[in-house]
């Protein structure tokens, strides 16, 4: 079964997702970023397997410049995580899966365990 993730294309959708989900992982990228395109499936697999209660969303930075602008996302790929509506992690360009997992483990565990 494929992992269930969503696309956010407007600020209204972004705000609704923040209200609806206690743990939100937002992946900003565009089709012109080869690194981001290659990294996305790995990140998605990490979230699916290690943080299953966290909802994964994808934002195309070129197609949704209003979201990128509001959240000051100017490079690709960038990830933002939110726990209970509050931004808790921001990573851009270069990050490892181990680094990402370590940074998410504590807030995720505090919220869900």
User: What does the pLDDT read at residue 107?
Assistant: 96
Which residues of the chain are modeled with pLDDT < 70? Answer: 1-4
| pTM > 0.75 | yes
Task: For residues 48 and 41, give the distance between their C-alpha atoms in angstroms, rounded to a whole number.
Answer: 10
User: What does the pLDDT read at residue 113?
Assistant: 87
Q: What Cα–Cα distance (Å) separates residue 69 from each residue in 3, 7, 66?
A: 28, 17, 5
CATH class of 6-108: alpha beta
Task: For residues 36 and 17, give the distance between their C-alpha atoms in angstroms, rounded to a whole number.
Answer: 22
């Amino acid at each position: 079964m494929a992992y269930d993730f969503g696309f956010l294309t407007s600020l209204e959708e972004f705000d609704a997702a923040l209200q609806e989900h206690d743990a939100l992982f937002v992946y900003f990228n565009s089709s012109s970023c080869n690194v981001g395109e290659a990294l996305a499936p790995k990140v998605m697999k990490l979230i699916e397997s290690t943080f299953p209660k966290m909802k994964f969303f994808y934002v195309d930075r070129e197609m949704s410049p209003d979201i990128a602008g509001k959240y000051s996302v100017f490079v690709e790929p960038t990830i933002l995580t939110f726990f209970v509506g509050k931004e808790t992690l921001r990573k851009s360009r270069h990050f490892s899966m181990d680094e990402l997992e370590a940074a998410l483990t504590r807030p995720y565990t505090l919220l869900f365990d």
